[in-house]
Amino acid sequence: MRLQELADRIERLVAAASEERAAAEDRPPPRGRTIIGIVGEPGAGKSTLTENLLALLNAGAPDPEQQRFAHVPMDGFHLADAELQRLGLLARKGAPETFDVYGYAELLRRLRRDRRNTVYAPGFERTLEQPLAGRVPVFPSAHTVLTEGNYLLLEEPDWRQVREQCTEVWYVEQEDQVHIRQLVERHIAFGKSPETAEAWVRDVDEPNAELIRATQDQADLLIILA
């Protein structure tokens, strides 16, 4: 599916949601938001797809405070290393239990309802490998938020709260296994030795990927990247 087709699908979802809210309340639609989830295993290309979509959808609006589409990644809800150390989960960083899933769901819930104020979401600093509070502003102009991460379709009570905030969730996968090599290279680029990077992909990323692959049939749309 081409990028423009995905952009057109989002525009139709936004229009349909607006009409539905208006019909339900018999008045002009409130300033709510559409939330599009983009899910896939580590290294599948979620972030690249999201950024390319945003560039297309926000074309002609260089000022972020005027853009209609925003991006809130799940990565900002990583627990900090100090807390993972306390919980005994540092060696599993990136697994479902190493995220503040309730905080993530609550932020998405607020984004759906609140367009009167700028909402600040946490981001994730790759060079530090740590979350940073208040890094991602979502301005009132944004009527749609793209949120990408690994576990949006996980069939667990806490993660289902995330799914419930999304208008649709799209599953992204690659045609081949090139993403494994890309994952190793990414870990090396952010400070791991080649041996440590390969072990991390084998022992952490791949088991997590198996969990994610099992959720594929729950997605509203499957996107295969070449």
The boundaries of the domain holding residue 65 are: 3-225
Rounded CA gap, 10 and 223, in Å?
14
- From the list 77, 187, 186, 88, the residue with the least C-alpha distance to 130 is 77
- Strand order of the sheet with strand 69-71? 69-71, 144-149, 34-39, 168-174, 221-225
Model's pTM, two decimal places? 0.87
A 10 A CB-CB count for 137 gives 13
Rounded CA gap, 158 and 153, in Å?
11
CATH for 136: 3.40.50.300
Distance of CA 171 to the CA centre of its chain: 11
What string of pLDDT tens digits covers the 226 residues of the chain? Answer: 699 999 999 999 999 887 776 666 655 545 689 999 999 988 888 999 999 999 999 998 999 999 999 999 999 999 999 999 999 999 899 999 999 999 999 999 999 998 999 999 999 998 888 999 999 999 999 999 999 999 999 999 999 999 999 999 999 998 765 567 777 777 788 777 888 888 877 877 788 888 899 999 999 999 998 7
**Quick one: pLDDT at residue 23?**
65
* Cβ–Cβ < 8 Å for 43, 205: yes
| CA distances, 58 to each of 7, 52, 181 (Å) | 10, 10, 32
**Quick one: pLDDT at residue 11?**
94
Number of structural domains the chain divides into: 1
The DSSP code sequence of 26-71 is TSSPPS--EEEEEE-STTSSHHHHHHHHHHHHTTT--SGGG-SEEE
CB environment 166-186: b (16+ within 10 A), e (fewer): bbebbbbbbeeeebbebbbeb
**Quick one: pLDDT at residue 31?**
65
The token pair that represents 88 in the structure block: 């005994």
Helix (H) or strand (E) holding 189: helix 178-189
Rounded CA gap, 132 and 39, in Å?
22
The DSSP code sequence of 94-114 is TSGGGB-HHHHHHHHHHHHH-
Evaluate the CA torsion angle 61, 64, 69, 71 in order and state its sign: positive
* Cβ–Cβ < 8 Å for 10, 143: no
